Structure 1
Amino acid sequence: MGKRRKPSPPSRARLAVLTTAVAGGAVLAAGTAHAEPTPTLASVKEQVDKLNDEAEQSIERYNGFQAKQQSLQADATRIQDKVARGQEAMNELRTRLGAVAGEQYRTNGIDPGIQLMLDSDPAGYLERAAAQNQVVEGQTALLKQARDEQRRLDQDRAEAAAMLTQLDSVGASLGEEKKQVQSRLAQAQALLNKLSAADRARINAQESAEKAKAAAQQAAAADRASRSADRPAAGPGADATLPSPSPSGSGRVADIIKFATAQLGKPYEWGSTGPNTWDCSGLTGAAYRAAGVKLPRMSQDQWNAGTRIARGDLQPGDLVFFYGDIHHVGIYIGDGKMIHSPRTGKNVEVLPISVMPYMGAVRPA
């Protein structure tokens, strides 16, 4: 039987080839395991819309905290001014009380009966004593005034301290909501950045088309307003993109819609009340203010600022609200459409009210 030959060790060249192949396979496998698929336009749009919706909810809370902060700041300034005036009055009373105390110290050393016995002019002394009784009564009134003023001053100081504490709390909440908004908008932008160049180009083209449409709507509205604010409803062939106000509508309605149409094409900016950028409730509040009506800052509060209107009874100028928590609002202009300020990255536009979850309408008083 012949001897079994031992296999010869692989050559250095063969080892190098094998090592390279194994390493390459490992890298390929690792790359396959960790590679993130390119997100589709539809999936990104769904996530971005969700983040923008959440951001708008935070924006409305931010608006509420901001309005409350401004109100508290005004109240705090008023009560602090009141405290300052009260302190000035108290200082004046203390000066007068000090003078009274000094006079008492100088005159209270001798008993009044002894003074009468020793006085060379008893009749004159009795006259002086009667006058002194009047002085004492005046001192008593002064003391009571000082006590009352001190009590009011203490109450005002306590109220001012409580108000400043509340102001600090609201300021902290305002800052937290601002962080929430910025975080969600940053997440939305990060998702958009993951899109392919082709998808980003599609989105940019869509945004450009929307801006051009808004600009055309604004120009048409301006042209219509320049012709006549009271002309009859549009006839065949007229521009129906922006319906004219109802002939039965008041001058206030015309003012509201005229103001809103003048804002078409202006950018959305969260927390903004104009005049160059708007958020949703900032736009509706300014439009009504142009017609002499003051609305609350938040959309949820605007929801409670008038009479609820059934969808079938909508008229131009009515406020229309969307989503379960009423965090979005627009101005109805007729023909099933509204003017609204949508979200970050978009402009004030005309949109059918059917494209968002409709919750109801209000006609402010």
Structure 2
Amino acid sequence: MRPGKRGLLVAAVTVVCAITVLGAPGTAFASPSPTPSPTATTPAPKPGKDLEAVREKLDALYHDAAVATDAYNAAEEKAEKQSAEIVELARKIVKGRERLDELKDHAGAAARSQYRTGGLPDEAQLMLSDNPQAFLDGAGRVQQGQRATKGLLAELTRTQQDLEQYSSDASAQWQKLESNRKTKAEAQKKIEKQISAAEKLESQLEKKEKERLAELEKEAADKAQTAWLDSGALEEVEGKATEQGKKAVKFATAQIGKPYVWGAEGPDSYDCSGLTSQAWAAAGQGIPRTSQEQWRQLRHVDVKDMLPGDLIIYFDDASHVGMYIGDGAMIHAPRPGRTVTVAGAGSMSILGVVRPGT
């Protein structure tokens, strides 16, 4: 093995090993441990209207965590693609280098052959030849060889240019990979900060206050669902699920009871878009990993045309997603501290509906 080839192979292996570290899927950390029970210096919120303020504050904290989770998932998805592209570029570089060495060997052989003939023109070689007829018979082969040599030099040039481009592309992908690594790290910090603040706020409540808070959350969801149903949104919804939609719904319903963990996409835990993307993957249809990209890339449909298996995107920033299952209900992974569950399709502010597949 040539020293240059050995060095390139080592470099390629280094590339693959490095991207395994940089591009590996981020670990979905469990929510931070709850803070200790409140002491005399950290009084629990007062009941009544104060609990409603707590509910609204918790909603805001978990919403911000959901937005950060989408950013984390998007960066992770991009990093995985960039890692795969870098691996492929490394393979092309190794293969191109091997081809370049072969071409250089052929070019060297051609040069040595020309040297042996003294580089004389055809006319001189004909006059000096002991067998002119043999020379004339070989003239055609010489011309073919000359054309082959030109083609060889052209391929040599193209291969060198390709290697330079592969190297440039790999460098660009490394920069993008590093940028996404930083995005993931920043998003992770924000997620953990928001969840920690929410858990700290909840930890300051007494048992009865927590029970009342849960009631307030249910009341708010029920109120939103009732208003949505009263709007007549479902009056024209009569369609049946497609075969793929049925498979997606079947997968999603089988996950009921599994915990929400940000950044998770199964099989033991999920975040909201992790659940919907895996449900549709089980149905044989790949879709974007994040709720924002699901909203941006998938086909939009009117609510009146909604079918079981369609995805309902929530909030103006598309930070949450659930799967419609019919009869005004949907399945989703709500937030940290909750499990995959069935809820009213209108229990949150609906941005729109999208449909994977055809």
Whether TM exceeds 0.5 here: the answer is: yes
C-alpha distance in 2, partners of 1:309/1:120? 86
The reply on whether 1:162 has 2:154 as its aligned counterpart is no
The reply on whether 1:258 has 2:250 as its aligned counterpart is yes
The reply on whether 1:340 has 2:332 as its aligned counterpart is yes
Please give the secondary structure, in 1, of the residue aligned with 2:336. coil
Please give the secondary structure, in 1, of the residue aligned with 2:346. helix
Question: Where does structure 2 lack aligned partners over 5 or more consecutive residues?
Answer: 1-39, 219-236
Equivalent position of 2:57 in the other structure? 47
Stretch deviating more after TM superposition (354-363 or 133-142): 133-142
Write the letter of the residue equivalent to 2:246.
Answer: A
How does 1:310-321 map onto structure 2 within 5 Å?
A: 310-321=302-313
Please give the secondary structure, in 2, of the residue aligned with 1:303. helix
- 1:246–1:316: 8 Å Cα contact kept in structure 2? no
Stretch deviating more after TM superposition (174-183 or 186-195): 186-195
Equivalent position of 1:184 in the other structure? 194
Change (3 A) 1:272 1:140: same
C-alpha distance in 1, partners of 2:304/2:124? 97
Equivalent position of 1:84 in the other structure? 94
TM-score normalised according to structure 1 size: 0.70
Show CA shifts across 1:267-292 (max 9, x none).
01111111111111111112222222
Change (3 A) 1:141 1:165: same
Equivalent position of 2:241 in the other structure? 249
C-alpha distance in 2, partners of 1:133/1:317? 68
How does 1:294-305 map onto structure 2 within 5 Å?
A: 294-305=286-297
Question: CA shift at 1:355, angstroms?
Answer: 2.3
C-alpha distance in 1, partners of 2:355/2:141? 71
Change (3 A) 1:102 1:44: same
Show CA shifts across 1:149-168 (max 9, x none).
21222222222221222122
Question: Where does structure 1 lack aligned partners over 5 or more consecutive residues?
Answer: 1-33, 211-244
Higher relative contact order (CA 8 A, sep 6+): 2
Question: CA shift at 1:261, angstroms?
Answer: 1.5
C-alpha distance in 1, partners of 2:121/2:308? 88
Q: Which of 107, 126, 129 is 1:97 aligned to? A: 107
How does 1:196-235 map onto structure 2 within 5 Å?
A: 196=206, 199=209, 202=211
TM-score normalised according to structure 2 size: 0.72
Larger-gyration structure (1/2)? 1
Question: CA shift at 1:52, angstroms?
Answer: 0.7
Please give the secondary structure, in 1, of the residue aligned with 2:267. coil
- 1:330–1:340: 8 Å Cα contact kept in structure 2? yes
Q: What percent of counterpart residues are identical?
A: 35
Write the letter of the residue equivalent to 2:169.
Answer: E
Please give the secondary structure, in 1, of the residue aligned with 2:263. coil
Write the letter of the residue equivalent to 2:105.
Answer: T
C-alpha distance in 2, partners of 1:191/1:114? 98
Aligned alpha-carbon RMSD (Å):
3.1
Question: CA shift at 1:362, angstroms?
Answer: 2.0
C-alpha distance in 1, partners of 2:202/2:245? 39
Please give the secondary structure, in 1, of the residue aligned with 2:316. coil
Change (3 A) 1:101 1:336: same
Change (3 A) 1:338 1:197: closer
